[in-house]
Structure 1
Amino acid sequence: MLNKEQDIFNVLFEAVSEGVIVVDDQQKIVSINSSIEKMFGYEKDELVHEKLNILIPKNYHAGHGDHFKSFLNKKEKRQMGKGRHLYGARKNGDIFPLEAGLNPFKIYGKNFIMALIIDVSERKKAEEELIHWANIFNESLNEIYIIDADTLKFINANQGAQKNIGYNLSELKNMTPVDIMAEKLGAKLAKILNPLREGKKKRVVFEDMHERKNGTKYPVEVHLQLSSLHTKVVLVAITIDITVRKKAEQELTHWANIFNESLNEIYIFNSDTYKFINVNLGAQKNIGYDLTELKSLTPLDIKPDYTEAQFRKKVQPLLEKKEDKLIFETVHLRKNGTKYPVEIHLQLSTFKGKEVFVAIILDITERKNYTKKLENTVDQRTIELKKALAKEKELNELKTKFLSLVSHEFKTPLSGILTSTILLGKYKLTEQQEKREKHLETITNKVHYLNNILNDFLSVEKLETGKIKYKYDNFKLSKVVDEVIYNANMLLKVGQKIKYPENIDEISLIQDEKTIELSLSNLVNNAIKYSPENSVIEIGIKQDAFHTTFNIKDNGMGIPEADQKNIFNRYFRAENALLTQGTGIGLNIIKSHLENIGGTITFESKENIGSTFVMKIINEVLL
């Protein structure tokens, strides 16, 4: 090209703002302007005489030659923005979108193409962002409505809104927000919009109920603000279906109520510092601290039996995930200083994204009291059972003694009767009458003895069945004493004497006379039986305004201390009296009789020294 022509091109190139490239029919760059230098990052001398491919991304090189030849043959101009998407390659390797307007021309018989290049990176970026937001608008699961700020008619609604509300876009364009509000209150909507229209707020957020085309209703949270669309003022409403949130809030409220209304104590505390974070009302009421006070405390402040080291060791299995839950018993300390036993259910949880301990506390005071009471009852029953077993053992021993005793007591007199009967058969002569009478007396005495034993057994049976009837009369006590002593004199051993009581002639009683005689006779006879020869049996009687007391004292063998507790038990006989005739039921009978008529019987005794029995009766039985 001539220098003159080159000067013309240079002036022309620099006069336009677009990038200008001139290439010949071999795709060699003939000339560029400064805009191209800035656009592609090359100096002019780096591009002139280079192939056009230097400015084209490598992945487009293969097809570019054919496109170039085709365009050159057609020799048609091409406007910018038409045709394929084009990309350029900068010196630093960056690829960027561009538009090119192509103008073929011919000078001095040579073909050239002048390309006007525009960098459309920003425009493409804006278009992509616009497409991105359009996609967000349409693909958003939230409902988005564009509303005419004047007429309140819907202008647009995304797919999420159309799907959830049930109306399509054509239907919605004939409606206003009032038509989908469950309450259908235009005044309510106007009140919501006023702060926006008056410029007091840039955005309002409120909750409402929307009504679908099928009549179902659902809760929503609406974010409403003013915007513009094609120079027109519009309202943009982003509507969130909060059905799930409302259910979650209801459930949360439900659990919060359970938390606070639970009668058990529930504590939430930090897993690192152990500081209490929240405590339900049941815990606050029982422990005595309010929530503000508790937030400055830790479990160690209410667990007097734990040191910090002990507590950390206790909860370590939870922190190390070796255990899901710990259950243990301890003691809690109230604000007022009182203590109470608790059962603790402790586990890890999360609260506001942080790891916390949740402790559910059961006040087991009643359980402990019941357990203690049960243990005491078991101990008491064990003691009673041991006593019963011991008693049964004693009774078995008494029964054994009784059987042995009865066998002996019946066998001896029966043997005597049999012997006397046999001898009577041998004494047939008149001069043997004295011997016959002696044996007849022996038989009579033995029969009386056996009769007395049987009477004692019958008395026991009557006392047990309550068949005894007492007859209360007024009588002189001296009459009873005389009768007892008279009969006892026939039982006295060699040298034995009975000391008669003094000053009893004026003593009278209103009592059962036979019972008094039986009881006194039994005691006097026992004193004779268990005392040695040449001893004295003393009878002492005193009367006051209410009672008459009998003291029968002997100097006999006495009762061993170990046997004294059983002396009034039926069939019991002391160890030192087993070889002496007796049934062991006499004292038991008179004790039962005396108790029935309001009397008592006690004794003091020392082995080998003697015994004193004290019988005390009331003077007058009230009839």
Structure 2
Amino acid sequence: MVFIQKDIALELHFILNEVPYAVLIEDNQRKLQYVNPSFCKLFSIPLLPEQMVGFDCAVAAESVAHLFRDAQAFLERIAEILEKKEPVRQELLELVDGRFFLRDYLPIINNDLFEGQVWIYYDYTKAHSLEIGKNKLKKFYENILLNIPADIVVFDKEHRYLYANKTAIQNQEIREWIIGKDDFEYVKLIEKDISIAQKRRALFNHVINNRESSEIIEETTTPLGKTQYNLRRIHPFYTDENELELIVGYGIDVTSIKNAEELINRKEKSLAQITEILNIAVIVIDKNLNVTYANSSFDTTFGYNASEIIGKKIHEIKIDFFTGIRDEILLSQKKGECQIHTRKFQFKDKYGSKKHLSVSCIPSLTIDTNEIFYAIFFSDVTDQYLAFDELQKIVEKEKRLNELKSGFVNIVSHEMRTPLSVIQSSAQIIEMLSENDSLDKEAINFHTTRIVSEVVGMENLMEELLLISKIESGKVDFKPFPQDLENFVRVIIHEKYAQFADGRQMRVIVKGKKQQVAFDRMMMNHILSNIIGNAFKYSEGKSSPTIQLNYRNNAVSVMVVDGGIGIPEKDMQNLFKAFSRASNVEGVKGTGLGLHVVKFFVDFHKAKINCRSQVNKGTSILLEFNYKPYSNA
């Protein structure tokens, strides 16, 4: 080579002959000074490298231009590079035969004099194909996160946005703008109170400082002027070296729960107002406990008119709890207290009806003689007790909703964290593999399969949550009709469990004279699929589960038996609760929602479900259905 010393040139010649890249060196007149074997092979040139030395590179470029997708653009780009004489790195070129090359260009400058240039080409086809596939896969999972029905945002360590999905920020322009910004810039843009950003920053700092998840409830106003409440929870993620990597935020609309709480408060206030306008029985007694006054409502309440009790001592009135009132007044006199606490009593009125009374005793002084007397008020709170029972039912329902909401937050922050971590790690491994020329297709398939599996699991979780939401809101229709239960069972087993992954098959046993059973197909499919699926899932490596149908005179029983891990006795009481799982199922995927839904659907049929289980010996689930279940009405 003319540009360097001879001994160095020989060494360089040897090295370039061995590299897997196509290398071509030309002088300032575009005469070919050196080309390596890889170049001849890449461009299918039927000459030895030494036979090409001295060729006109401009002519050579024209002779291979037809290999590229746009031959004219290929030549024009070479001319542009030669004119600028500036280095070019990894320029992508597309060929007619579907291949892709990367090209590098390096001008040779010696003592400010241009002496020639070096061209380097290498085949990028496989890597380019993997890069396209990786980008498509990345876009696919980004689309899942973008449209998931919950606010999801990701922050860096400085509380700047790295990602926000469509539920979190609906406007696409703002969603793109916010990357790299913080909440202070965001609330300024949307013209909201800065206190929102301050509360979020305080929550963020708390999570960072305490290295744990935390949450707040935000109150905002919608564009339509309605108040909205959102539960904001953020969770930190750390690297294997225990360094903070990123922070994920989840947002859930809890407006319905807050509204329900306000409804309960309003009902309590209404009850208080009702109590004030009720007819209240009143008696007045002096310091010696003699009755000096009784109103007409006392007769209505207790069946004693004023003439019957005035002049009598209170404990002489034949009402059970009046002795207790006397004792409390005497005790207050002894202690010198000026007020006696309200008490509630239960009794039967003169008609035999059970009544609840709230009894208040208020001591006072007469204006003229300054003597103490006691006014005792008897408020009939029977209606309040009945209303309280109704409130208890509402509270129980709201408690269930709170448990479901709380469980969903736990799923997002824990159950969804695992698949998201798997997706992230698998995507990173695929990315690393894509940078390696010797790609292992089997390894790529393994990680893409893992990603797809985790996404399917997340999709099943969302479907179960939506189904529970429908059940809680009363939007599930119950449509039973007489049909062949045995055939229905066999179809489910054939379609889903004909042969389990480990080769086991379920055995069906039928006893008694078969009869038509009225049931809802959708609900029964969910009931049986869940119970049969659990029987297989929790008995891996054991004998095949069995299902037995026993037709009797009035009902049919369905019993599913497995020889699996069983359920600890302490977990049996929570078997049908939402998000509850046995303590010995570690490593087996599940959300604790399946049997919760099963119990709902069994109750729809007015049927019974029972479970017997022993740890490491197996579990049996018994279902009992009447032939004609009650309708929704």
TM-score range, shorter chain: 0.3 to 0.5
State the TM-score, normalizing by the size of structure 2: 0.36
Q: State which structure, 1 or 2, has the greater radius of gyration over its C-alpha atoms.
A: 1
TM-score, normalised to structure 1's length? 0.37
